[in-house]
Structure 1
Amino acid sequence: MASPLFLGIDTGGTYTDAVLFRENEGVVAKAKSLTTRHDLALGIGGAVKSVLAQSGVEPGKIALVSLSTTLATNALVEGQGGRAALVMIGFGPDDLTRGGLSEALGADPVIHLPGGHDVHGNETPLNMEALEQRLPQLASAVSSFAVAGYFAVRNPAHEIRVRDKIRELSHLPVTCSHELSSRLGGPRRALTTLLNARLVSIIDRLISSAEVFLSDCCIAAPLMVVRGDGALISASEARLRPIETILSGPAASLVGARYLTGLDSAVVSDIGGTTTDVAVLNDGRPKLAEEGAHVGGYRTMVEAVALRTYGLGGDSEVHIDDRGLEARYSLGPRRILPLSLSAFAHEETVIPVLERQLRASHPGRHDGRFALRTGLPATLSETLQDQERAVYARLGDKPVPLNDLLIMNSQKAVLDRLVSYGLVHICGITPSDALHVLGRQSQWSADAARLGLEIAARRKDGSGRPIAASAEALAEKIVSRLTRQSAEAILKTCLMEDGADTIDPATSPVVDHVLRRLPGIVRFSVGLDRPLIGLGASAPVYYPAIAAALGTESVIPEDADVANAIGAVVGQVRATAVVTVTSPEEGRFVVMGGGEIFAVIGEDRALEMARERARLVVIEKARAEGADEIVLSLHEELDAPEIEGARKLVEARIFANATGRPRIAMR
């Protein structure tokens, strides 16, 4: 009897992948479609329709749909997301300097309110006057709110009151810090909450697009989303906590890599259009980041796989420094639209401009580069400043040459802000264009790629010579640079795993000596103790050379191009809950976490109440996250030192864990 049919979807920065999968059969069909950021349903629809057509499967027979995505990760790496206001309860301005919060906040508004709680959940009175005064103005200037209260993980009452007031007066999405993490560390919890608020609109659009398309296709199956730790979560919960989907795509790729190769010990590197994600498999399981996911320069409190995400991929921006005697190249971290892709969609606009720029006797400052709107809803541009609105108004849905768009030097910074808001795409040369010139990719416009690289190749270095003799020569330099930066990224991740994080492969002369294989009296070499699993559509192009540079073998599975989508359907639902017991005075105990605070007389009674609370909370949470056939486990951490010969409970933490397969539609 055939096992249930699952549909896995991975929405990446460049491609959306889809697979049909059965546990007793594996991959039934797979397909790719370009990710359409302005309307994600189009990319999802293209991939899903293709796998359905290949397989001949009736949509109504699909029992589960699971979605992994790099959209949240890419947004943080590229500095994108909606504008959010941060409300800090019981914190002072000095707290903004901790945990990277000030850097993450940038120019977004912040409000400080008196209030908060102590370690035992006792309150300092809350005063919302400053919030009520600023809410009318902020409601039209931001797209969401983040609320973080002092010791809110012990008592969330003030966060809840502020949340309800904001929703009442603004009707905008609000994220509270206690909803995301039960760990102490106010500023970093506030940072995580702020990032979550910025991501709400991005993930909501993705899930809504998927739901609309699935409904139109008559696929009536539960929709799950991959979390950053590789577990699955219901779509409704992912909408509320989109920050948990950062590293969703990489986590799914690790699960997929393990399934596809059967390897228990390996380094896994997944190259996409925007990012490269690197992690280590030990004993068949990815390690979880003990201190929280690190993405885009931010250390969050989100539980996720221990991996490093680098702004390096097939669509990475190519930077050429021609000021020295020899040109230097670097890639990323920003993703731009490849010229080959831009011309594929807008040939009549892009090709003539590139041809004219190539014929010109004097090069323009921004030759080979264009800009166009991403197609996001117009409402997202309503909060733009005057300069931003002026530049944005000159753009449309067709590429505009930057030479024509940027009249003044100051407008370059304005354009970069529009890109960071997710409203504008920059088009230019990328590694994908280099592969088109070299004949290793062919899905888009090779003519545009060649013209773009010919324009760039004629730039002069400090000695007055062209930086490359031909488009092919420049393409080889770009491919070589991606190979080198990928090797550095993988090596850096492995060194950090070994505790040698003071060695930076990008700046180390010894590592440079090794990777360039320079001759010398002293012989240096490098080698990994396990194979390198290469994932991604371009994995066969890059990873054999990368593995050779790192002294190991490359393993590129047959379905490496859709490993994320496979990983999305072979995971489980996992939920956790933490209940804390403290003792503010002799014989009196306070039970906190998962709801109302209780004061209890007697340690045994308090601990038993905490265990029962943890069980109930985690089961309810697992069900909300889509679990079926739940398996429960508990463990405890007690701080109970001996003081003057007598044992005293200072704090007890009860951890409840629930796992289960996702609920499926019964056929």
Structure 2
Amino acid sequence: MLVGIDVGGTTTDAVLVEGNSVVKAAYVPTDHDDLLKCLLGALDELVKDVDTRKIERVVLSTTLITNMIAEGKTDPVALVLIPGPGTNPKDYNLGEACILDGAIDYRGREIDRLKESQIKEAASKISAQGLARIAVVGKFCQRNHAHEQKVGEIMRAALPGAKIELGHRVSGHLNFPRRAATTLLTVATKDKYREFAQAMADALRQRKISAPVYILKADGGTLPLDSSVQMPVETIFSGPAASIMGVLALTPAGQTSVIVDIGGTTTDLALILSGKPLLSSKGAKVESLLTHVRAFAVKSVAIGGDSAVDVSDERMTVGPQRKGPAFCMGGPCATPTDAMRVLGLTSVGDAARAEKAMQEVANKLNCSPKEAAQKIVDAVVDKIVAEVGEMFRAWEQEPAYRIWEIMKKERLEAQNVVGVGGGAPPLVPLVASRLGASAIVPDFARVANAIGAAVARPTITLNLHIDTERGEYIVAEDGLTGKVGDRKMTPEQAEKLARKLLDERAERLGIGEYSGEAEVTYSEVFNMIRGWSTVGRLLDIRMEIPAGLLASWRGC
């Protein structure tokens, strides 16, 4: 049996899956001040009268990191940058930073030395600020770690007990500002995330659940909970990822669909192209910062079933605030859920309270309660349809979409609108109708996110850069470096090395059993010529296990 638990903005849902069937579901209200309590509350409700020895796997989808960043509850971090020539760190929107001299070029060669006195001066400044967490990031240091390592050594000696993260260990990808942002967020969230992971592991042991525990990442893959401690920001946006994986699980394979996940607080929009979720080429955007976190191309819209309805000067607004549950569910104000209750689109909540909520809105709009309810529902549908249109324009800029468009020889249109989440059954048919598309609301739509978490398989990506003239390679994901001896290395040899390194990385992360499913998704070779001779090659290989479902779910 598999357990999937998803922490949503309004409720925390859990499912128990056996084979390719959902055998039990549970729901508890989400308390954003105590996510561990929500997860364990849903789990306890789910496994009541269940033999926990039969549980084979537990997967969590949590908003912990998202909330921590949004609410400003991350730990303070000192950012130390070695930007080299040609860049102005003030343009990166990363906040205050200590800027050091020194530079590495794009091939990994030192072109300007560090100044030890300057590093020690920066350490003194950090000490005076009382900061105990430090992110050290140098431009192109993923291709030569020496500067980051040297700064780290001096900082550790000057600041005993400080927690220092080096950028090349967080990400080896090019794009200095994104690597700096990813490192900064990793340091800022790691300690609190580690506390959460340890508390979760302890709680499961107390419940005599010995099954391996995974966390859902932003790219729809799972990672062992203990391994995720080293990369907590990978779990940001795991909620939207869970809804996409849920749709993959609940709809026929190979379809192209717009996903509309309508919760109590927000609506998430995403796209599946011929059975493959669209990834964001720019990585996850955290507030104003672009990062190197692989994530689906998702947009969250601040409107949902519990969005507050407000009327001022005969002008009605719906959202973006959520003040509590719907009025018909005991909440403080009118919401779209109350409107849908009055219109007969849903049966949840108390009908009399819903009518009262609509009467109050109607009095301010000078119309009947049903007319007020229709205006509210229309406003929600208008908002979602408009946002889908905006997302189409954004999706069309994604390289993966453009490749799909060329291969299929057609432009994207909303053929299917698949709705999941508590608000999907009444609203998605209305959205689909406006878009001229077919509406699909699958069975178990309300708990699709938890199902998606339960049956998502692990993902792993490895980007390998080889410089045969220098005789070196580097793995972008974790900064691992090594030597190569053949200056005329072929792409086939490079792919063989990439597969070996991916197998090893998968073993370190505890997902070695899935590495055989990896495939080459990118391969490029550039010959370096001097005079009339080839002096070396630059080879870039990407291998990955893409997002997908456990074979047991499809009954394979």
TM-score, structure 2 as length reference: 0.81
How much does 1:44 deviate? 1.6
Say which SS state the counterpart of residue 84 (structure 1) adopts: coil
Report the Cα distance in structure 2 between the residues aligned to 1:164 and 1:438, rounded to whole angstroms: 66
For 2:135, the equivalent position in structure 1 comes to: 146
Report the Cα distance in structure 2 between the residues aligned to 1:576 and 1:10, rounded to whole angstroms: 24
For 1:270, the equivalent position in structure 2 comes to: 261
Report the Cα distance in structure 2 between the residues aligned to 1:273 and 1:165, rounded to whole angstroms: 50
Contact kept? 1:180, 1:302, Cα under 8 Å = no
Report the Cα distance in structure 2 between the residues aligned to 1:237 and 1:187, rounded to whole angstroms: 25
For 1:8, the equivalent position in structure 2 comes to: 4
For 1:54-65, list aligned pairs within 5 A: 56-65=49-58
For 2:180, the equivalent position in structure 1 comes to: 190
For 1:614-653, list aligned pairs within 5 A: 614-629=498-513, 630-631=515-516, 632-633=518-519, 636-640=523-527, 645-649=532-536, 651-653=538-540
For 1:128-277, list aligned pairs within 5 A: 128-139=119-130, 144-162=133-151, 169=159, 171=161, 174-200=164-190, 203-204=193-194, 206-263=196-253, 264-277=255-268
Say which SS state the counterpart of residue 640 (structure 1) adopts: strand
Residues 257-287 of structure 1, C-alpha deviations (whole Å, 9 max, x = no match): 1221215221111122333222222221112
For 1:589, the equivalent position in structure 2 comes to: 471
Q: In structure 2, what residue type is equivalent to 1:90?
A: I
Report the Cα distance in structure 1 between the residues aligned to 2:96 and 2:470, rounded to whole angstroms: 42
Q: Which one of the candidate residues 391, 413, 427 is aligned to 1:542?
A: 427
Q: Which one of the candidate residues 479, 484, 490 is aligned to 2:388?
A: 490
What's the % identity of the aligned pairs? 30
Residues 191-230 of structure 1, C-alpha deviations (whole Å, 9 max, x = no match): 2333344444664455345323322211111111111111
Kindly tell me: are residues 613 and 268 of structure 1, through their superposed partners in 2, closer, same or farther at Cα, counting changes over 3 Å? Answer: same
Residues 418-437 of structure 1, C-alpha deviations (whole Å, 9 max, x = no match): xxxxxxxxxx7654565577
Q: Does residue 1:530 correspond to 2:415, yes or no?
A: yes
Kindly tell me: are residues 341 and 591 of structure 1, through their superposed partners in 2, closer, same or farther at Cα, counting changes over 3 Å? Answer: farther
Q: In structure 2, what residue type is equivalent to 1:531?
A: N
Report the Cα distance in structure 2 between the residues aligned to 1:269 and 1:548, rounded to whole angstroms: 14
Kindly tell me: are residues 204 and 340 of structure 1, through their superposed partners in 2, closer, same or farther at Cα, counting changes over 3 Å? Answer: farther
Report the Cα distance in structure 2 between the residues aligned to 1:529 and 1:596, rounded to whole angstroms: 43
Report the Cα distance in structure 2 between the residues aligned to 1:231 and 1:251, rounded to whole angstroms: 8
Q: Does residue 1:314 correspond to 2:305, yes or no?
A: yes
For 1:111, the equivalent position in structure 2 comes to: 98
How much does 1:46 deviate? 2.3
Say which SS state the counterpart of residue 212 (structure 1) adopts: helix
Residues 570-629 of structure 1, C-alpha deviations (whole Å, 9 max, x = no match): 22222233332336xxx6534334667566665047989966764454223212332142
Q: In structure 2, what residue type is equivalent to 1:618?
A: L
Q: Does residue 1:91 correspond to 2:83, yes or no?
A: yes
How much does 1:329 deviate? 2.1
Kindly tell me: are residues 80 and 439 of structure 1, through their superposed partners in 2, closer, same or farther at Cα, counting changes over 3 Å? Answer: farther
Q: In structure 2, what residue type is equivalent to 1:655?
A: R
Report the Cα distance in structure 2 between the residues aligned to 1:434 and 1:227, rounded to whole angstroms: 35
Structure 1 runs not aligned, ≥5 long: 345-349, 351-427, 459-465, 502-526
Kindly tell me: are residues 274 and 191 of structure 1, through their superposed partners in 2, closer, same or farther at Cα, counting changes over 3 Å? Answer: farther
Contact kept? 2:186, 2:231, Cα under 8 Å = yes
Residues 508-543 of structure 1, C-alpha deviations (whole Å, 9 max, x = no match): xxxxxxxxxxxxxxxxxxx94411100101111211
Report the Cα distance in structure 1 between the residues aligned to 2:162 and 2:497, rounded to whole angstroms: 32
Report the Cα distance in structure 2 between the residues aligned to 1:166 and 1:568, rounded to whole angstroms: 40
Contact kept? 1:74, 1:274, Cα under 8 Å = no
Q: In structure 2, what residue type is equivalent to 1:85?
A: V
For 1:471-486, list aligned pairs within 5 A: 475-486=373-384
312-321 or 285-294, which deviates more = 312-321
Contact kept? 2:16, 2:24, Cα under 8 Å = yes
Contact kept? 1:293, 1:300, Cα under 8 Å = yes
Kindly tell me: are residues 449 and 643 of structure 1, through their superposed partners in 2, closer, same or farther at Cα, counting changes over 3 Å? Answer: farther
Kindly tell me: are residues 610 and 262 of structure 1, through their superposed partners in 2, closer, same or farther at Cα, counting changes over 3 Å? Answer: closer
Kindly tell me: are residues 442 and 500 of structure 1, through their superposed partners in 2, closer, same or farther at Cα, counting changes over 3 Å? Answer: same
Contact kept? 2:169, 2:479, Cα under 8 Å = no
For 1:512, the equivalent position in structure 2 comes to: none
Q: Does residue 1:570 correspond to 2:455, yes or no?
A: yes
Q: CA RMSD in A?
A: 4.0
How much does 1:256 deviate? 1.5
How much does 1:139 deviate? 3.9
Report the Cα distance in structure 1 between the residues aligned to 2:122 and 2:191, rounded to whole angstroms: 23
259-268 or 310-319, which deviates more = 310-319
Report the Cα distance in structure 2 between the residues aligned to 1:275 and 1:245, rounded to whole angstroms: 18
Q: Which one of the candidate residues 269, 279, 284 is aligned to 1:288?
A: 279
Say which SS state the counterpart of residue 542 (structure 1) adopts: helix
Say which SS state the counterpart of residue 31 (structure 1) adopts: strand
Contact kept? 2:134, 2:187, Cα under 8 Å = yes
Kindly tell me: are residues 442 and 320 of structure 1, through their superposed partners in 2, closer, same or farther at Cα, counting changes over 3 Å? Answer: same
Q: Does residue 1:556 correspond to 2:441, yes or no?
A: yes
Residues 618-651 of structure 1, C-alpha deviations (whole Å, 9 max, x = no match): 2232123321423155564211266655445452
Q: In structure 2, what residue type is equivalent to 1:564?
A: N
For 1:33, the equivalent position in structure 2 comes to: 28
Kindly tell me: are residues 200 and 270 of structure 1, through their superposed partners in 2, closer, same or farther at Cα, counting changes over 3 Å? Answer: farther
Say which SS state the counterpart of residue 214 (structure 1) adopts: helix
TM-score, structure 1 as length reference: 0.68
Report the Cα distance in structure 2 between the residues aligned to 1:71 and 1:434, rounded to whole angstroms: 31
565-574 or 220-229, which deviates more = 565-574
Report the Cα distance in structure 2 between the residues aligned to 1:601 and 1:35, rounded to whole angstroms: 56
Q: In structure 2, what residue type is equivalent to 1:489?
A: E
Say which SS state the counterpart of residue 124 (structure 2) adopts: helix
Contact kept? 1:223, 1:235, Cα under 8 Å = yes
Kindly tell me: are residues 138 and 12 of structure 1, through their superposed partners in 2, closer, same or farther at Cα, counting changes over 3 Å? Answer: farther
For 1:381, the equivalent position in structure 2 comes to: none
Provide the aligned length of Structure 1 versus Structure 2. Answer: 527
Kindly tell me: are residues 200 and 269 of structure 1, through their superposed partners in 2, closer, same or farther at Cα, counting changes over 3 Å? Answer: farther
Q: In structure 2, what residue type is equivalent to 1:283?
A: S
Q: In structure 2, what residue type is equivalent to 1:639?
A: F
Q: In structure 2, what residue type is equivalent to 1:591?
A: Y
Report the Cα distance in structure 1 between the residues aligned to 2:372 and 2:120, rounded to whole angstroms: 61
